[in-house]
Amino acid sequence: MLNLLKSSVWHPNTQMKEWESFDKITNGKGIWLIDSDGNKMIDAVASMWCNVWGHSNPQLIKAISDQSKKLQHSSQFNLTTEPAEKLADSLVKTSPGMHKVFYSDNGSSAMEIAIKMALQYWKNIGNEKKTEIATLENGYHGDTFGAMSVGYVPEFFGKFKKQLFTTIQFPVPNKYRMLKGLTINDYQNFCLDKIEKRFSKKDNIAAFVMESGAQVAGGVVIYPKGFQKKISQICKKYDVLFVLDEIATGFGRLGSMLQYEEQKSIPDIVAYGKMLTGGYLTMAATLANKKIYNSFLGEFNDWKHLFHGHTYTGNPIAAAVANQNLKMYKKNNLIKKIQKTSKTFKKFYSEILEIDIVGDIRHKGMLMGIEIVKDKSKKIPISPKQSINKIFFEEGKKNGIYLRTLGNIVMIVPPLAITESELNLLLKRTILTIKSAKSKVV
Ligand SMILES: Cc1ncc(COP(=O)(O)O)c(C=O)c1O
């Protein structure tokens, strides 16, 4: 089939042949995206889950503009900048147990760095045995090779399986798709037992890597209470580093500043991204505790230092906007506001669940995943081969919302500071969209 697309851009995770054109977004204002014809859509996915205050926020724009007039970029190699120092101080202050901040410019890199820190830690302290990484099935940590290895989602990464390093994967208690006859508690204990049995058998695991609070790209699987805490305790017991990915779930997305605090599971290493700059510029950070950091200290020729660095590491404009963003979290009591606004989702649970292609809804904070199924009574999912993204995108557009589905999950991930009335509007439009997409999906 001929590809009629008149554009030089190759779009991410996109079968380009499906598209004849892409709408051009020219402006953004609050929760709204505005295209070149003046059409407005609610940004229902916070521009890939990172927008906090809405588009065109004057205070964030000012922070970018002020810093860009002074210094646009200077490296972190031999030098530092005031915004990067200030941001690292606030991140350490906000993150219990953490000691140092290593900057990068996207979440996948932040996870690569976390993996390198964890593996090198054991070498640095002279332990040559601990070289394996344990993870949860269906986790997602980004699209680079290390991140793909620890977050193996078969549909996404199957083509590269041979090139990825192997990890030891454990099941995740997903309440909607549990083994028959088990309660969620039984299921959770079954998963935890598997981890403990493996850890106690062989002393070769360097780190356990998992998303904090929930798996997002893997289908919005919100962990049952105590699950993450128990894994952190098992890690402590067997001397395995505990590495958390808060890139999608931290900074208020699940209704608390940091999920690891809420889950009482302090990591050795943690990665942040997405919301760090309010969704305005690209920046990520990997934080390590004192034990990890100290293991990297030594004489130059001990070769203990971390061999990692990117051109835009710690970019001062990104750091300046992140500083302003964090200031606004405090000033506006954003986390409390999210907790209150998030209750709006509950009002729509039953109406969404009544739609016969909706199998399940999973919601926490400012994240909702709506699982679309072919057969509700048997929980048969829409085939991963069927592209429902374009259908939902187009139906969403007709209803004035911008949607990007993930597999068979309709993701509702709005800008964190969305108001209750805006969220009401978004959810009403989501219901209309699912209803109108129904006949096209099944
Ligand atoms: C949990 C998690 N980790 C890492 C990443 C990768 O971040 P980035 O897309 O900035 O590379 C994502 C992206 O969605 C994510 O959800």
Ligand 1 pocket check: which of 45, 135, 136, 141 to mutate, most ligand atoms within 8 Å of Cβ?
141
**The pTM is what?**
0.97
Beta bridge partner(s), residue 367:
364
Residues of the chain below pLDDT 50 = 1
Task: Indicate if ligand 1 lies below 6 Å from the C-beta of 217.
Answer: yes
Ligand 1 pocket check: which of 47, 106, 140 to mutate, most ligand atoms within 8 Å of Cβ?
140
Domain containing 268 — which CATH number? Answer: 3.40.640.10
- Domain identity same for 43 and 25: yes
**Residue 87 maps to a domain:** yes
- Domain identity same for 41 and 108: no
Three-class secondary structure of residue 386 per DSSP: coil
Q: How far is CA 54 from CA 45, 104, 278, 415, 417, in A?
A: 11, 24, 8, 6, 7
Task: Indicate if ligand 1 lies below 6 Å from the C-beta of 151.
Answer: no
Per-residue model confidence (pLDDT) at position 2: 52
Task: Indicate if ligand 1 lies below 6 Å from the C-beta of 220.
Answer: no
- Domain identity same for 245 and 367: no
Query: Which secondary-structure segment (H or E) carries 26?
Result: strand 25-29
**Residue 437 maps to a domain:** yes
- Domain identity same for 377 and 429: yes
The total domain count for the chain is 2
Residue 35's domain comprises: 16-56+341-441
Chain segment 172-181, per-residue pLDDT in tens: 999 998 878 8
Q: Of 117, 41, 5, 123, whose CA–CA distance to 399 is shortest?
A: 41
Per-residue model confidence (pLDDT) at position 3: 60
Chain segment 29-70, per-residue pLDDT in tens: 999 999 999 999 999 999 999 999 999 999 999 999 999 999
Task: Indicate if ligand 1 lies below 6 Å from the C-beta of 248.
Answer: yes
**Residue 336 maps to a domain:** no
